[in-house]
């Protein structure tokens, strides 16, 4: 092989290595960003779980309030009124 072909191959190889290094740097940045987003999502999921518990409690309480005659003391009062 002549020297111009070797120089061309060396420059191609150098260019490819530089491109690979750039792609690896971009991959590392995106991996770090994904890690940060995953941590944020995990934290938000715990808050969503608490919020779901609060909503369930509110629905149970509202059903208790909105359904007349469902409470035991109301049932006893209704039975006394019927007698």
- Give me the number of domains the chain comprises: 1
* pTM confidence score: 0.55
> In which residue are the tokens 């369930």 written?
56
DSSP string, 1-63: --HHHHHHHHHHHHHHHHHHHHHHHHHHHHHHHHHHHHHHHHHHHHHHHHHHHHHHHHHHHHH
Domain that holds residue 52: 3-82
Distance of alpha carbon 81 from alpha carbon 64, whole angstroms: 21
70-80 b/e with 16+ CB inside 10 Å = b? eeeeeeeeeee
pLDDT in tens, 14-62: 999 999 999 999 999 999 999 999 999 999 999 999 999 999 999 888 8
């Amino acid at each position: 092989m002549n020297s111009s072909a070797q120089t061309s191959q060396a420059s191609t190889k150098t260019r490819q290595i530089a491109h690979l290094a750039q792609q690896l740097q971009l991959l590392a940045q995106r991996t770090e960003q994904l890690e940060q987003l995953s941590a944020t999502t995990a934290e938000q999921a715990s808050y969503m779980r608490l919020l779901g518990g609060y909503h369930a409690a509110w629905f149970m309480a509202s059903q208790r309030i909105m359904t007349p005659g469902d409470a035991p003391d109301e049932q006893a009062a209704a039975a006394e009124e019927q007698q």
